[in-house]
Amino acid sequence: MTSVLPEPFQDSRRLTGSNLYFDGPGAALETARGLHFDDATLSAWTRNIEAARTALGWPETETVLRRHDSGVSLAFTAPADQLYTATEVNEWAWWAALDVPFSHREKVAEGRMREGARGSTTTPRRKLPFDAETQDFIRELRKNSTEPEQLIWFFLRDRRLHGQKFRRQKSLGPYVLDFYCHELKLAIELDGAQHNEPDKLVLDAKRDAFTASQGIATLRYWNHDVLASTELVLEDIWNQVYARASDDTGGGKSMPSSALRAPSPEGRRKQPPARFHAPGHAATWDEESALQTLRAVARAEARPALITLMRAARSHHLPFLADDDEVTLGEGEGGRTWFVDELPTPDGVPWEQLHAIPTALVTGSNGKTTTVRLLAAMTRAHGWRTAHSCTDGVFFDGLALEAGDFSGPTGARTALRQGQAQAAILETARGGMLRRGLAVAHANAAIVTNIAPDHFGEYGIHDLDDLARVKLVVARAIDQDGLLALNADDPVLVRQSAALGCPQGWFALDFDHPLLQAARAAGRPTSGLRDGRLLLQLADDAHDLGEVAAMPLTLGGRAIYNIANIAGAALTAAALGIPSGTIAAVLARFGRDQADNPGRLQHWRFGQLEVFVDYAHNPDGLRGLLHAVAADRRSGRLAMILGHAGNREDADLRAVATTAASARPELVVLKDIAGYERGRAAGEVASIMRAQLLEDGVPADAISTCLDEVEATRIPLSWARDGDLLVLPIHELDAREQVTNLLDAMAAAGWRAGDALPPITPAPPL
């Protein structure tokens, strides 16, 4: 196998909506850390992008070179139906500018950049008039495809291979084929190690016999070989398809591939050994060949029908939602969805039946999910059937449809495609905006809760101002009829708000904050506290929403961060058109029931022992939580569990540990977060935090390590005695469900500190 050099970029991605760099779709690439290049290299990248734009006939391209501490972000606009091609253009332009060999390994159909999380829907989707159950099953398979499947699909999709049309997850009798080409009667199956078991071999033989009886040939490859011997697998597929296409078409015409069709670099430049190049990618050693490949890729990917429909939707002032599989016009009860391969002409669209629904975007560093849930409760109380998406999943009228972190574009589209929804509240996290951009082009309202240190180092984001610019991408969705609600107590948001062109409303802990006074003088809405009561000013009318200390979310007024969330939610709800009386009624009760805000400031009392479960995951969040639960005024001992996702910098992990140490805990249990190691070895996060705790004066015998998040919570519960305070930040969804089930069972049984703990009950599926 020819060795492969590391890629000179660490991330290459499509931008499907408005983003940090520009207002519209395109592609972005992050240069590899530690890569040395100069201004001439960046100029060469720009020239290469211009050359590709001209060759592809794309409209005028906006290019962005954003320098930052770890390199440069390279981004440019591109047609909405050719974004995979745009990533190819970006990678080729950067490789060619650097004049180094190309590797196929980065292009795994964006496998490690996928949005959302795996989960299963509990409500069947009835969007087509035929075989809905099969269609839903196929959508699940598409959504949960493996990395080998994504890699192979990248080379098969959009007629990239010899002009042949392949489909993913094609239903055939009792089976679903991984990939299928009807014209060639050819199926491609990817198998995991379990297919080597005797029972699986029998089933596979039966399956192959069935497909053969339908005149279909089957090619089988091991998942391991797809990843470890990619070049060999792809070449075999290339040859097999080429042979069949030649037999069937007589010409065997295929899309040019610089791997197997372009001239070898040897003879063009004396730089042995010859450099292997993966199928479907543009040759870095020959611009003419590269542009030929890119033109063919663009032709194969182009979907004129999609662009026509998008323009028609724009002319009708309707939302347009698209992904790889489906296109939706309108939203919620006013929406209609088609498969990408079955798009109607504009004349076939029932335009009079389509419309948007009231929609709000929620972003910020802390408080997003609480604010989403609070707004969704307000819209439901107003009588709107509401879909909302957040880090816990996608919900409709409070019932779970999907489980997992759906705070990105996938979650937004899933919520907006709920056919009975009359309103939508969408958590819009930093990661989704950086990876893909906004899912929507328009929203009625948006809120930025706050800006706090978190996620530094990813996608070229290194400080609070960088982070604020990302969060404020939501402003691109707000027009002159909408409202962007901003936190006046956040100096970074105040500083950056001057550059925004959309209408702004302000909320703060002090209703008489100078910025709020200035906003009211200009006729802009505001929300804040005066004399312990929450006030909402709309035009010339002031509304008293109630005593803050009596609102359950504020924990008697101690949860300062939730007071800010409440003020911001009230302002955003008013912008959606919800009456102040409805807002006040929801604030008076929300948070009293454990189910209102699961995983956020949930409280159990066992005698004089108090236990809190929360999601605090950065220094500001943990500091606010410790203040809310009166950790500094406790009469007993304090125990905590502590962990973090692995994609934070070491300094971020140490900062969380220092915040915990400042509370002088008598016990700290360090954990991992299952599924969130993100490149770090098991226990690595805990090790970094332990070292910082020791440096900050926490005794070694007060620190324990239990990497399993659920088991980690049992240690302080077993250790506790009456009068103690336990603070349990839990981040993984299944772990939280198991722990809260345990605490509920303990409360129901009258458990007291010192009693034996009941066993953990696995969480029921959502």
Query: Cα–Cα distance between 9 and 518 in angstroms, integer?
Result: 46
In this predicted structure, the answer to whether residue 48 has a pLDDT above a threshold of 80 is yes
Instruction: Give me the mean pLDDT over the 429-435 stretch.
Output: 93
Q: Where are the domains of the chain?
A: 9-105+286-299, 146-280, 304-353, 359-596, 602-748
Q: What sign does the CA torsion over 588, 590, 591, 592 have?
A: positive
DSSP string, 581-612: HHHHHHHHHTTSSGGGSTTSSEEEEETTEEEE
Q: In what order do the strands lie in the sheet with 703-705?
A: 602-606, 609-614, 725-729, 638-642, 667-670, 703-705
Spell out the residues 6+ positions from residue 21 whose beta carbon is closer than 8 angstroms to its own.
15, 28, 64, 66, 73, 75
In this predicted structure, the answer to whether residue 135 has a pLDDT above a threshold of 70 is no
Amino acid at 585: A
Q: In what order do the strands lie in the sheet with 526-530?
A: 399-403, 393-396, 386-390, 423-427, 359-363, 445-448, 483-487, 504-507, 526-530, 533-538, 541-547
Class of domain 146-280: alpha beta
What does the pLDDT look like over 190-203, one tens digit per residue?
Answer: 887 655 555 566 67
Query: Cα–Cα distance between 377 and 583 in angstroms, integer?
Result: 9
DSSP string, 217-237: EEEEEEHHHHHHSHHHHHHHH
What is the pLDDT at residue 170?
78
In this predicted structure, the answer to whether residue 641 has a pLDDT above a threshold of 60 is yes
- Name the β-bridge partners of 329: 320, 336
Tokens 């101690």 belong to 558
In this predicted structure, the answer to whether residue 284 has a pLDDT above a threshold of 90 is no
Tokens 């049992």 belong to 714
Mean pLDDT, the chain, rounded, equals 85
Domain 602-748 matching CATH 3.90.190.20: the answer reads yes
What is the pLDDT at residue 126?
30
What is the pLDDT at residue 1?
34
Residue 3 — very low, low, confident or very high, per pLDDT cuts 50/70/90? very low
Instruction: Give me the mean pLDDT over the 404-408 stretch.
Output: 90
In this predicted structure, the answer to whether residue 691 has a pLDDT above a threshold of 80 is yes
The CA–CA distances, whole Å, from 373 to 333, 545, 622 equal: 21, 18, 20
What is the pLDDT at residue 133?
52
What is the pLDDT at residue 140?
54
% of the chain with per-residue pLDDT over 70: 86
Instruction: Give me the mean pLDDT over the 337-353 stretch.
Output: 94
Q: For residue 711, how many other CB atoms are within 10 A of its CB?
A: 14
What does the pLDDT look like over 448-479, one tens digit per residue?
Answer: 999 988 768 788 999 999 999 999 999 999 99
In this predicted structure, the answer to whether residue 678 has a pLDDT above a threshold of 80 is no
Do domains 359-596 and 602-748 share one topology? The answer is no
Query: Cα–Cα distance between 668 and 690 in angstroms, integer?
Result: 9
Residue among 318, 490, 481 nearest 472 (CA): 490
Residue 6 — very low, low, confident or very high, per pLDDT cuts 50/70/90? low
What is the pLDDT at residue 143?
54
What does the pLDDT look like over 480-503, one tens digit per residue?
Answer: 999 999 999 999 999 999 999 999
Instruction: Give me the mean pLDDT over the 240-257 stretch.
Output: 57
What is the pLDDT at residue 4?
45
- The CATH architecture assigned to 359-596 reads 3-Layer(aba) Sandwich (3.40)
In this predicted structure, the answer to whether residue 668 has a pLDDT above a threshold of 70 is yes
What does the pLDDT look like over 513-569, one tens digit per residue?
Answer: 999 999 999 999 999 999 999 999 998 899 999 999 999 999 999 999 999 999 999
Low-confidence winner among 268-282, 412-426, 684-698, 710-724 (lowest mean pLDDT) = 268-282
Residue 583 — very low, low, confident or very high, per pLDDT cuts 50/70/90? very high
Amino acid at 246: S
- Name the β-bridge partners of 610: 605, 725
Query: Cα–Cα distance between 395 and 233 in angstroms, integer?
Result: 41
Global pTM value: 0.76
By three-state DSSP, how is residue 208 classified? helix
Instruction: Give me the mean pLDDT over the 578-605 stretch.
Output: 94
Query: Cα–Cα distance between 372 and 468 in angstroms, integer?
Result: 19
In this predicted structure, the answer to whether residue 587 has a pLDDT above a threshold of 60 is yes
What does the pLDDT look like over 305-337, one tens digit per residue?
Answer: 999 999 999 999 999 999 988 999 999 999 999
In this predicted structure, the answer to whether residue 267 has a pLDDT above a threshold of 70 is no
In this predicted structure, the answer to whether residue 152 has a pLDDT above a threshold of 80 is yes
Residue 136 — very low, low, confident or very high, per pLDDT cuts 50/70/90? low
Tokens 């063009």 belong to 268
State how far Cα 544 lies from the chain centre. 37
More confident residue, 704 or 617: 704
Residue 254 — very low, low, confident or very high, per pLDDT cuts 50/70/90? very low
Residue 677 — very low, low, confident or very high, per pLDDT cuts 50/70/90? low
Query: Cα–Cα distance between 234 and 694 in angstroms, integer?
Result: 52
What is the pLDDT at residue 247?
65
